Amino acid sequence: MTFDGLRQAPSVKRQASNVTWGSSTVNDYAVEVFNLTKKFGDFTAVNGVTFNIRRGEIFGFLGPNGAGKTTTIRMLLGLLRPTGGQATVLGYDIVHQAEEIRKHIGYMSQRFSLYQDLTVSENLDFYGRTYGVRGGRLQERKRFVIEMAGLQGRERELTRNLSGGWKQRLALGAAILHEPEMLFLDEPTAGVDPISRRAFWDLLYRLAEDGTTIFVTTHYMDEAEHCQDLAFIHNGRIIAQGSPEEIKLHKMQGQVLEIDCTQPDVAITVLRQMGLFDEVALYGALIHVVAEGIAEHKPSIAQALAEVGVQVRAMDIIAPSLEDVFIANVRNNAD
């Protein structure tokens, strides 16, 4: 599933930050992270990560489960104390000023953290009061959230009866009731159907266009295409970062040959047995083969597949996808 129908993420003016660590002065960066590390005994969950997030941009933090994404978020929110390194969020130090950080950010976990026995309206009331939003302002913010999330007519519905997509929108609404400067979204689309994922990203674009900085973790590569900046994390280390275009242009090792053929399960086994390629992977019904100078291998590939009765319908060199780049960088950074 791709997100071709989504509008592009809003552009962000790129300038260098000019403030020192620990300053709460407004600058170009909402988040500054330097050599951040977290160890649990002998296990290093996050290993010296460094990155910046510009104000008003959507920043994607990509990696498989267990890569260190959630641990990084929990440190930035002041919920986990780092073992080493330093970071600021909205100018506040994550160790010494965590309470200030939490006043200015919204957080949405992958479990949505909603009360299932409360109605949509009651959940919004609860989170509004938790954030210190009361009275007329709470009613105004509730109306905004319900309209933004398309929840009109569902205000009295019990949350447990909502589908995953509606729960997702409600959780986002609860996280922005207090108009935070920045949102932290931890795997917000995990387990949600593709149509709901698409609608959710449209909501994120609206928030970013209004100036909200968004930090989103995901393992969906198609979603990452619509972030302005990305960082790939694997085994606790950042292995590539930049805009999607920069990463695909500068971080890919080798070229990608896309093969459309019959019996892809047979073909992928044969191609791997040839031992000539850096990577052979299945993308839906297509096969991606990665190697330097891949064009030179096309005749031998065609012959090997013909010998086992596989018919090749098309075989073309294509631009790498983010998933191609991620797999290549994982391979190149393997311990």
The whole-angstrom separation of Cα 89 and Cα 103 is 11
Residue-averaged pLDDT of the chain: 88
| Three-state secondary structure of 58-101 | EEEEECCCCCCHHHHHHHHCCCCCCCEEEEEECCEECCCCHHHH
* pLDDT at res. 7: 46
Give, as one character, the DSSP assignment of residue 7.
Answer: P
pLDDT at 326: 87
Say if residue 197's pLDDT is above 90.
no
User: What pLDDT sits at residue 76?
Assistant: 97
Print burial letters for 41-74: b (CB count within 10 Å at least 16), e (below 16). Answer: eeebbbbebebbbbbbbbbbbbbeeebbbbbbbb
Q: Where residue 65 falls among pLDDT bands split at 50, 70, 90?
A: confident
Mean of pLDDT values over 182-188: 92
- Give the C-alpha separation, 60 to 57, whole Å: 10
Residue 311: is it exposed, middle or buried by C-beta count within 10 angstroms (0-12/13-18/19+)? exposed
Give all strands of the β-sheet with 43-54 in edge-to-edge order. 43-54, 29-40, 84-89, 92-93
Q: What is the pLDDT of residues 75-89, one digit of tens each?
A: 999 999 999 999 999
The half-sphere exposure of 194 on its side-chain side, counting CA atoms within 13 A, is: 7
Residue 211 pLDDT exceeds 60: yes
pLDDT digits (tens, 9 = 90+) for 216-272: 998 888 888 889 999 999 999 999 999 999 998 888 888 999 999 999 999 999 999
Kindly indicate the confidence band of residue 335, based on its pLDDT and cuts at 50, 70 and 90.
low
Asked whether 254 and 328 are in contact (CB, 8 A), the reply is yes
Q: In terms of C-beta distances under 8 Å and separation of at least 24 residues, what long-range contacts does 17-24 make, across chains too? A: 17/52, 19/91, 21/86, 21/88, 21/93, 22/88, 22/93, 23/88, 23/91, 24/90, 24/91, 24/92, 24/97, 24/100
Per the DSSP assignment, residues forming a β-bridge with 51 are: 33
DSSP H helical segments within 176-321, as ranges?
194-209, 221-224, 244-250, 264-274, 298-307
Q: Catalogue the E-assigned strands of 137-244.
A: 182-186, 213-218, 229-234, 237-242
Two structure tokens written together for 87: 């970071």
Q: Write the pLDDT tens digit of every residue in 5-53.
A: 444 455 443 333 443 444 445 578 999 999 999 999 999 999 999 999 9
Looking at the chain, the whole-number percentage of residues with pLDDT higher than 70 is 92
Residue 98 confidence (pLDDT): 95
Burial group, residue 292, by CB count within 10 angstroms (0-12, 13-18, 19+): exposed
User: Is the separation of the CB atoms in 128 and 138 below 8 Å?
Assistant: yes
Q: Give the pLDDT band (50/70/90) at residue 334.
A: low
Mean per-residue pLDDT for 178-191?
Answer: 90
Confidence grade of residue 170 (pLDDT, cut at 50, 70, 90)? very high
Q: How far apart are CA 148 and CA 31, in angstroms?
A: 26
CA distances from 17 to 28, 35, 104 (A): 5, 17, 20
Among candidate residues 182, 179, 178, 177, the one with its CA nearest the CA of residue 29: 182
Residue 324 has pLDDT above 90, yes or no: no
pLDDT surpasses 80 at 2: no
pLDDT for the residue 15: 39
pLDDT, average across residues 107-112: 82
Length of the chain: 335
Contact (CB, 8 A) for 74 and 26? no
* Whether 82 contacts 37, CB under 8 Å: yes
